Amino acid sequence: MPRLLSGAHRLRNSPLLLKLPPYLSFLCIIVGVVWLFLLPLDEYSRRTYISENALLPGQVHTYFGGSDQNVFRAFKHEINALADTDANSTVVNDKVAEILEDIGLKTARQRYRYAGQGVQGENIYSVLAAPRGDATEAIVLVASWRNGKGEINRKGVTLLLTLARYFRRWSLWSKDIIFLVTPDSAAGPQAWVDAYHDSHTAGVESLPVKSGALQGALVIDYVKEDRFKSIHIAYDGVNGALPNLDLVNSVVSIAGGQMGMGVGLQEMWTHRDTYRDRLETMLRGMLKQGLGTASGAHSAFIPYHVDAVTLSPYGDGWQDEMAMGRVIEGTFRSLNNLLEKLHQSFFFYLLMSTERFVSIGTYLPSAMLVAVNFTFTSIALWIKSGMPEAEVGKGLEGKRMDKARLGQVERDLFLPLGVVVVVQALGVVPLGLFNATPQQLLAPVFAIFTILNLILPYVLSELLRTYKPTTQQYQLILSFSLLLLGMFLSTLATLNFSLSMMVGLLASPLSFVRPGSRFWAIPLALVSPPVVLGVATAVLKHGSFAAISDVLREAAFGWNVMGMYTPVIVWCVWWPAWVVGSLVVLGRPSTGKAKTA
């Protein structure tokens, strides 16, 4: 080790090595991105397979059908009556309770209120005690009254009630089954799952009835009135957490294999399994994962290590609600077989079609490479800051450095550390601002913030000038800031790969800026977080700039209710790095000589 280290120590005096870092950083980013685009190829992705043998998906005969169709029609009639009169949550729950109690299940209710977000409602659920179980494990079937788009989930709630009646007649369940109807698909499930695990906030009531540990959850989002062709599986959780791949595979195998339906992912309504389609599915998945928002009622379950997916029918075909019911029955029978929680190592994956995926070992290097490029630059700047000033100027133009003159310079760390820490701490300001502002003010506040944000580096750099920072100090400021950025992003890559990749790519210009190179100021302003946020909203939502208030509202809701940490990453990781980068670019180093040791 000492020999190795002192070898490395000598190597750092080589002038060639000092010219390398920008190219190395650039190479890292390029390789990282190319890597990503290679993933959909057959050579890099793998076919999916069921790793938990106990699941046995599609191996049982499903009996849902026949007279259950009449029951379904009857319940549908009741639900339609409620939906047409636009009944409020209490009236709906009274009706649902009446039906469930007629079936012979006890019901329980839970009221919740998130005051800051102006959201409230009442969940209703009942527990079907397992005839062959001991109430230590449970599976959840969820239907929300209104889905994420605000449409009334008529067939979904009806199907839930019909299945409740049907499941009750069977004696083969070894796990409790919980039927849950929530008013909406975000706050309701969140309140219920939080309360189930006794970690609810003040406005949320505790659950009067509970069962055992949740083993899995299935959400029905069924608004399509006529017959359908395929079902869509939504699987992204909050903060980019994913359910175990085995659950997705089971549903694919039951719906696609046993029932002969099509299965779609990531709102790709047609998927021909070409490179392009695979890539698009993967990128859509990454975008959703990176934003970290909930994609349905199932998202609330995933942080509690409960594997969950949302199933929603789409397309015109000949499948009816009985077929949908059989898919759910089949999946529940599979989950019922489980002897332990799904634990095989597929919690980190990118799906590119229903049959192909890449696992973490294959895709993680691309995000790590992007994160590591900042660390390389940071190390390079640190080494460069330790060299006598005259050398830095000339030495980098390729002049051979005289080894004897290459004395180390004592680094002045206080000012750089102070600047980085202050800017890092400033990140709390936008974070608090956007999470506490009332909804109607979000858009104007954002507009003002965007403008102030563009001026901020100029102001800060003027302020900094009063301390007369030298080139060395500017280099150190940038070095520390990039070190932190690289560190946070590589940590993040293990928690939320896509978010780390996105922030890493958007912040990548920071690796190439150098103190005083003012022409970088404009390009940097273009990739400032608020500008990127505004442009991305306009592009993704196909809408005007006003859509930004929706995005910000969703982010505030995610942060306050669902524990989504994307805003923290944007404002406390990316934004400070951007501010420091712009500050350094605008800086004018004073010509004071650095002290030599």
Partner 1 sequence: MHDGTLLRLVIIPPLLASQLVFVHFVHGDQAMDAHRVTLGRTAGLFIGAAVLRLALFTIFPGLPDLLTGRVEVSTPVTSFKRLQEGLFLYNHNVSPYDGGVYHQSPLFLPLFSLLPSSTTLPIFTYLLYIAVDLLSANALIKIAESGEAGSSRLFTSPRREKRWSGYILAAVFLFNPFTIATCLGRSTSVFTTAAILHAIAKAVQGAPISAMIALSFASYLAMYPLLLLPPLLILCYDRQTANKATKSALAFTAKHFLVVAGVLGALFQMSYLVTGSWEFLSSTYGIQLTLSDLTPNIGLWWYFFVEMFDSFRSFFLAVFWLHLSCYVGGLSIRIRRQPLVVITLLLGIFTIFKPYPSIADVSLFFGLVPLYRHVFPLMRYTFLIAGLIMYASCLGPAFYHLWVYAGSGNANFFYAVTLVWNLGLSLMVCDLTFAVLRDEWEVDRPEMVGKDIRQI
| 117 is a contact residue toward partner 1 (CB under 8 A) | no
**Could you identify the residue written with the tokens 């004395």?**
407
Site for partner 1 in 421-480 (CB under 8 A): 421-422, 424-425, 427-428
Residue 167 Cβ, how far from partner 1 at the closest point, in Å? 27
| CA dist list (Å): 429 to 252, 524, 555 | 45, 21, 16
| 361 is a contact residue toward partner 1 (CB under 8 A) | no
Decide whether 347 or 545 has the Cβ nearer to partner 1. 347
Q: Which listed residue (379, 506, 531, 536) binds partner 1 by CB under 8 A?
A: 379
Q: Which listed residue (418, 432, 444, 592) binds partner 1 by CB under 8 A?
A: 418
Cβ-Cβ contacts under 8 Å for 432 (sequence gap 6 or more): none
Residue 592 Cβ, how far from partner 1 at the closest point, in Å? 16
Long-range contacts (CB closer than 8 Å, 24 or more residues apart) made by 52-56: 52/246, 52/338, 52/342, 52/343, 52/344, 54/337, 54/338, 54/339, 55/246, 55/250, 55/334, 55/335, 55/337, 55/338, 56/334, 56/337
Decide whether 35 or 480 has the Cβ nearer to partner 1. 480
One DSSP character per residue, 21-84 reads HHHHHHHHHHHHHHHHHHTTSTTTSEE-----GGG-TT-S-----TTHHHHHHHHHHHHHHHHH
Q: Which listed residue (115, 172, 417, 526) binds partner 1 by CB under 8 A?
A: 417
Mark residues 183-202: x for contact with partner 1 by CB under 8 A, - for none: -----------x----xxx-
Q: State whether the Cα torsion 439-442-444-445 is positive or negative.
A: positive
Q: Which listed residue (557, 565, 574, 575) binds partner 1 by CB under 8 A?
A: 565
Residue 518 Cβ, how far from partner 1 at the closest point, in Å? 27
| 483 is a contact residue toward partner 1 (CB under 8 A) | yes
Q: Which residues pair with 291 in a beta bridge?
A: none
Residue 491 Cβ, how far from partner 1 at the closest point, in Å? 5
Decide whether 515 or 567 has the Cβ nearer to partner 1. 567
| 240 is a contact residue toward partner 1 (CB under 8 A) | no
Q: How far apart are CA 454 and CA 177, in angstroms?
A: 54
Spatial contact of 299 and 187, defined as CB atoms under 8 Å apart = no
| 596 is a contact residue toward partner 1 (CB under 8 A) | no
Find, among 329, 127, 293, the residue nearest to 220 by Cα.
Answer: 329
Half-sphere exposure of 366 (CA within 13 A, CB side): 25
Q: Which secondary structure element, helix H or strand E, spans residue 495, and what is its range?
A: helix 471-495
The residue type of 109 is: R
| 554 is a contact residue toward partner 1 (CB under 8 A) | no
The residue type of 208 is: P
Find, among 280, 323, 304, 240, the residue nearest to 497 by Cα.
Answer: 240
**Could you identify the residue written with the tokens 């974070």?**
431
Q: How far apart are CA 108 and CA 272, in angstroms?
A: 45
Strand 262-265, strand 228-234: pairing: parallel
| 210 is a contact residue toward partner 1 (CB under 8 A) | no
| 17 is a contact residue toward partner 1 (CB under 8 A) | no
Q: Which listed residue (44, 170, 304, 314) binds partner 1 by CB under 8 A?
A: 304
Q: How far apart are CA 62 and CA 333, in angstroms?
A: 9
Total residues at interface with partner 1 (CB under 8 A): 54
| 512 is a contact residue toward partner 1 (CB under 8 A) | no
Tokens representing 9 are 């120590």
| 579 is a contact residue toward partner 1 (CB under 8 A) | no
Q: State whether the Cα torsion 375-377-380-382 is positive or negative.
A: negative
Decide whether 62 or 110 has the Cβ nearer to partner 1. 110
Residue 138 Cβ, how far from partner 1 at the closest point, in Å? 17
**Part in contact with partner 1 (CB under 8 A); list of ranges 103-111, 238-246, 275-283, 531-539:** 238-246
Spatial contact of 112 and 187, defined as CB atoms under 8 Å apart = yes
Site for partner 1 in 391-410 (CB under 8 A): 407-408, 410
Residue 474 Cβ, how far from partner 1 at the closest point, in Å? 17
Find, among 134, 209, 143, the residue nearest to 173 by Cα.
Answer: 134
| 285 is a contact residue toward partner 1 (CB under 8 A) | no
Site for partner 1 in 485-504 (CB under 8 A): 487-488, 490-491, 494-495
**Part in contact with partner 1 (CB under 8 A); list of ranges 1-9, 79-87, 217-225, 258-266:** 1-9
Tokens representing 266 are 């990531």
| 517 is a contact residue toward partner 1 (CB under 8 A) | no
Q: Where are the alpha helices (DSSP H) in 236-274?
A: 245-252
Residue 558 Cβ, how far from partner 1 at the closest point, in Å? 9
Cβ-Cβ contacts under 8 Å for 127 (sequence gap 6 or more): 105, 106, 108, 138, 176, 177, 178, 209, 210, 211
| 305 is a contact residue toward partner 1 (CB under 8 A) | yes
The residue type of 229 is: K
Report DSSP state, residue 146. B
Site for partner 1 in 146-165 (CB under 8 A): none
Find, among 68, 323, 301, the residue nearest to 182 by Cα.
Answer: 301
Decide whether 12 or 73 has the Cβ nearer to partner 1. 12
| 34 is a contact residue toward partner 1 (CB under 8 A) | no
**Part in contact with partner 1 (CB under 8 A); list of ranges 71-79, 219-227, 248-256, 420-428:** 420-428
Cβ-Cβ contacts under 8 Å for 74 (sequence gap 6 or more): none
Residue 14 Cβ, how far from partner 1 at the closest point, in Å? 14
| 6 is a contact residue toward partner 1 (CB under 8 A) | yes
| 414 is a contact residue toward partner 1 (CB under 8 A) | yes
Spatial contact of 227 and 145, defined as CB atoms under 8 Å apart = no
Q: Which residues pair with 46 in a beta bridge?
A: 357
Decide whether 2 or 260 has the Cβ nearer to partner 1. 2
Kindly report the length of the chain.
Answer: 597
Neighbours of 451 (CB within 10 A): 11
Residue 200 Cβ, how far from partner 1 at the closest point, in Å? 7
Residue 201 Cβ, how far from partner 1 at the closest point, in Å? 7
| 52 is a contact residue toward partner 1 (CB under 8 A) | no
Q: Which listed residue (21, 216, 262, 303) binds partner 1 by CB under 8 A?
A: 303
| 327 is a contact residue toward partner 1 (CB under 8 A) | no
Q: How far apart are CA 449 and CA 525, in angstroms?
A: 13
Q: Which listed residue (170, 347, 512, 545) binds partner 1 by CB under 8 A?
A: 347
Give me the residues that bind partner 1 (CB under 8 A), please: 2-3, 5-6, 9-10, 194, 199-201, 238-239, 241, 303-305, 341, 343, 345, 347-348, 375, 379, 382, 407-408, 410, 413-415, 417-418, 421-422, 424-425, 427-428, 483-484, 487-488, 490-491, 494-495, 559, 562-565, 568, 572, 597
